[in-house]
Amino acid sequence: MNKRLHITAALALFLGVAQAQTKTWSDAGTFDNKGTVWSYNLGKGTGNAGDKFSSGEAVKTSVSSTATPGFLSYPSSGFAAVTTGANAGGSVKTEGKDAATKLVLDASSNASANKFAVYDISKASPVSSLFFNVSFKGDNDPTNGAVVFGIGNARGNNIFKNTSSLTGADATGVFAGLRWEFSTNKAVFFSYRALNNGSYGYKLINANSFTKTGEHQVELYINNATTSQKYTKMGKAYDLAPATFNIWVDGNLMTTESGAGIPASGELAPEAPLNSFLFQGYHSKGSVPNALTLNLSHIQMNFAK
């Protein structure tokens, strides 16, 4: 009898986990004026260049779209690109199947970043939310290096479209940036992009929201409109001032010295639609180069009307 109960409980747990995985963002917040939903299934609409894109002596890039599949699965709209830096080491690959497929990106061993970007998503708006699962699991413990995230608008040949790395220089089209920085201790220093004395650096949010080994759910609610916007999450309303964004990590709202409304970096004109984002990993050097690994899955953007 007890054995049957254990089996039944295990089956119920398995089904519950399976349902949770298929409804990853069912409890995410929504803006009052709901618009289109864009999701990126890394295991659907596959590319044509195998499951691994390795670094070489020169910068390499591959762009995927519905018209021209490249290394990555092509998104339902827009373009998905991977870039590996010159002599950067590491690779970009995909692991898993269907909606559970993950993008696995090794941070470069130098300043020439390995990079993943999506740009020119259609029907985007200045008021948007972006959701993703992230972890930094790899074969080795990362003791240095950083992962940088940026979101904004692909205008001309800017940082979202080209093979350049997002640095401290002004980057036209970037609304906001985030950085996860690694050291020899267990902390992961989580910061946001800000202008300081003429160049862009990062201000610390905290060093305890992310771990080196766990997987985390991240929700961003972003307002590039000129008026305040409101979203509702789990029955509670939250106001977003113009040129600010909220970050939720594992169901917890992040705050800084100025509160939960984190300011934009100031590199994107107001009212421009948020149609692009990027992740890059770099400076993972030392005794074990490329030890820092970025894992991404369940990527989704929701746009307000």
CB contact at 8 A, 124 and 77: no
| CATH topology for the 33-304 domain | Jelly Rolls (2.60.120)
Evaluated on CA atoms 62, 264, 27, 146, the torsion sign reads positive
Residue 9 has pLDDT above 60, yes or no: no
In this prediction, residue 27 has a pLDDT band, given cuts at 50, 70 and 90, of confident
Tokens 């307002």 map to which residue? 223
Residues in contact with 95: Cβ distance below 8 Å, sequence separation at least 6, in sequence order = 51, 101, 102, 104
- Does the predicted TM-score (pTM) go above 0.95? no
Per DSSP, the three-state class of 130 is strand
List the beta bridge partners of residue 115: 83, 280
Provide the mean pLDDT of the chain. Answer: 91
- Cα separation, 37 vs 166, in Å, equals 27
Domains of the chain by residue range: 33-304
**Using CA atoms, how far apart are residues 39 and 47, in angstroms rounded to an integer?**
17
Q: Is 76 helix (H, G, I), strand (E, B) or coil?
A: coil
pLDDT digits (tens, 9 = 90+) for 53-80: 999 999 999 999 999 889 999 999 999 9
Residue type, 263: P
Quick one: which of 123, 234, 231, 153 has its CA closest to 245? 231
Angstrom distance (rounded) from CA 287 to CA 301: 38
- What would the pLDDT profile of 163-222 be if each residue is shown by its tens digit? 999 999 999 999 999 999 999 999 999 999 999 999 999 999 999 999 999 999 999 999
Q: Which residues pair with 180 in a beta bridge?
A: 147, 190
Burial 265-286 (b: 16+ CB within 10 A, else e): bebbeeebbbbbbbbbbbbbbe
State both tokens at 299: 């990527």
Q: How many helices (DSSP H) and strands (DSSP E) are in the chain?
A: 1, 21
Of 216, 222, 213, 164, residue with least CA distance to 187 = 213
Q: DSSP readout, 251-263?
A: TEE--BTTBS-EE
Residue 56: DSSP 8-state? B
Burial code of 10-22, b = ≥16 C-beta within 10 A, e = fewer? eeeeeeeeeeeee
Residue at 258: amino acid letter: S
The H or E element spanning position 185 is none
Instruction: Check if the beta carbon of residue 154 is closer than 8 Å to that of residue 161.
Output: yes
CB of 278 within 8 A of CB of 115? yes
The per-residue pLDDT for 181 is 98
Where do we find the tokens 């399976």?
18
pLDDT at 44 over 50: yes
Residue pLDDT, tens place only, 234-286:
999 999 999 999 999 999 999 999 899 999 999 999 999 999 999 999 999 98
**What integer pLDDT is reported at residue 10 of this predicted model?**
44
